[in-house]
Amino acid sequence: MIDKLPRQLVARASPFIHMVLARKRLILFLCVPLLLIAVLFSGAVNVDSEWSHKLEGLRPIGESIQNGINYVAGDGSNYDSSGVVYVHTNGSSNSSTSLGHGSTKYIKSKAYKRPGYELPLGSGMPLRIMALGASTTRGDSPEEDIDNNGFRRPLRERLTAIGNPVNFVGTQRLGNMTDNDIEAYPGVVTETIHKNAKNAVPKSKPNLFLVNAGSNDCFQHIDIDNFYKRYDALVEYLLNASPRSTVVICTLLPTWDERFNGREEVWRVNPQIRRLAKIYEEEKKPVVLAELQGPDGVQDGNIASDGMHPGTAGYEMMATKMYEAIVEADAKGFLQSPVAIEGILDDGDAERKDEKYTAWVEEKVMMDNATMKAQEKEINIMKAELARLREEAKTPGPAPTGAVKSAHEKKDIRFPKLFVV
């Protein structure tokens, strides 16, 4: 081979070749990097060594795989810790715990129950709730067939469904729900709500307040710039008068009413309520904000024809936002058991057992049960009839009279044989 190369090239390369052969260390210096490059491009990397280093002080990736945790692939299939799935860029997946180049690891964290959704709040503590406010708290609305339960009924149902006994308290009763105590009057401003609270709170000492105050301040245009001072005085009183309480404060609903022109005033009051919420958070007071406006809150379209009060759907939305605020309070550790007071039970419905009103509720329950039993009876009749029909369809019966003749018989009938005479 060397003889076939040009003489000039051989002459120039000979000193270099002799030098390399003479220095074996240089050969090793050149060969080792070449071998490493070849291994990297071939993809034949030892996975354990490749991923055994620690990233930013974390454990090696292999050590992060724990027993009892499911890992899910992009196609939704589940694997336990012995079958972690890595989905490759070509869409294929495997259950190997190794990672190859161009693959993505999909991990599903272990499921757990979030307090307030699957578990009762505060380990199931009783919630003695006082709803404070004006007509919106009362559930007033021009909507037809309004029941004046407002946000209280759907909120109560959600809280009791997760295991918390609930008792609404107050000096007034309104709505066709059994536990319908409330502390709200139509048309009252924040200062009046404060006075009403002074009369009602010492009698029941709630451990949860739902405050919706300020709309009438806006409609009556009462010193809007200093609204936050009156609102803070109300909140401070509630916390002091019932020391085990948590206060849920609410932003005001939107309004498009043109009689009182309170829309712009609401826009000025709501920022004050939000700022107070931040101040209470900094002070570590047991106060949380229910944001009733915003993308997932009550919109103009949820307000009834009077431009001020929501309809049934709007009150449902209010209940959802208040429920979320109560869950937040529980997550922050604010909720405390209420003070024991003679005559006030944990379950507000149980307080009405001796009243005539409860007789109507019990009668309704009996009617519902009777309707359910009648429904079950009809369902069983339908199931038996369907089973009979399906069984008959499986069993072939005798051929009916006047059956259709075979193709050959049809042919004989349609085309009779001709006889030559």
Whether 182 is covered by a domain: the verdict is yes
Structural domain boundaries enclosing 1 = 1-44
Verify that 211 and 335 share a domain, yes or no.
Answer: yes
- At residue 242, the pLDDT reads 97
**pLDDT-derived band at 67, boundaries 50, 70, 90:** very low
Averaged over 143-148, what is the pLDDT?
87
Verify that 33 and 159 share a domain, yes or no.
Answer: no
- At residue 232, the pLDDT reads 97
Verify that 38 and 74 share a domain, yes or no.
Answer: no
Q: Rounded to whole angstroms, how far apart are CA atoms 362 and 352?
A: 11
Q: H or E segment at 28?
A: helix 24-42
The interaxial angle of helices 227-241 and 263-282, nearest 10 deg, is 50
- At residue 11, the pLDDT reads 55
Non-local (6+) Cβ contacts of 147 within 8 A are 139, 153, 175, 176, 177, 312
Q: Rounded to whole angstroms, how far apart are CA atoms 123 and 222?
A: 43
- At residue 116, the pLDDT reads 56
Verify that 227 and 333 share a domain, yes or no.
Answer: yes
- At residue 144, the pLDDT reads 83
Verify that 93 and 154 share a domain, yes or no.
Answer: no
Verify that 58 and 161 share a domain, yes or no.
Answer: no
Whether 378 is covered by a domain: the verdict is no
Residue after which a domain boundary falls, among 335, 351, 367 = 351
Verify that 152 and 257 share a domain, yes or no.
Answer: yes
Whether 306 is covered by a domain: the verdict is yes
Residue 116 carries which side chain, given as an amino acid letter?
Answer: G
**pLDDT-derived band at 49, boundaries 50, 70, 90:** very low
Whether 314 is covered by a domain: the verdict is yes
- At residue 332, the pLDDT reads 94
Whether 385 is covered by a domain: the verdict is no
Q: How do beta strands 78-79 and 71-72 pair?
A: antiparallel
> pTM for this one?
0.61
Verify that 19 and 142 share a domain, yes or no.
Answer: no
Verify that 234 and 306 share a domain, yes or no.
Answer: yes
Residue 234 pLDDT more than 60?
yes
Q: What CATH number is associated with residue 220?
A: 3.40.50.1110
Verify that 217 and 90 share a domain, yes or no.
Answer: no
Q: How do beta strands 103-105 and 78-79 pair?
A: unpaired
Whether 392 is covered by a domain: the verdict is no
Total number of domains constituting the chain: 3
Whether 22 is covered by a domain: the verdict is yes
* High-pLDDT (> 70) share of the chain, %: 64
Residue after which a domain boundary falls, among 27, 44, 61 = 44
- At residue 149, the pLDDT reads 95
Verify that 244 and 329 share a domain, yes or no.
Answer: yes
Residue after which a domain boundary falls, among 286, 316, 351 = 351
Range of weakest confidence among 45-49, 100-104, 388-392? 45-49
Whether 106 is covered by a domain: the verdict is yes
Verify that 200 and 288 share a domain, yes or no.
Answer: yes
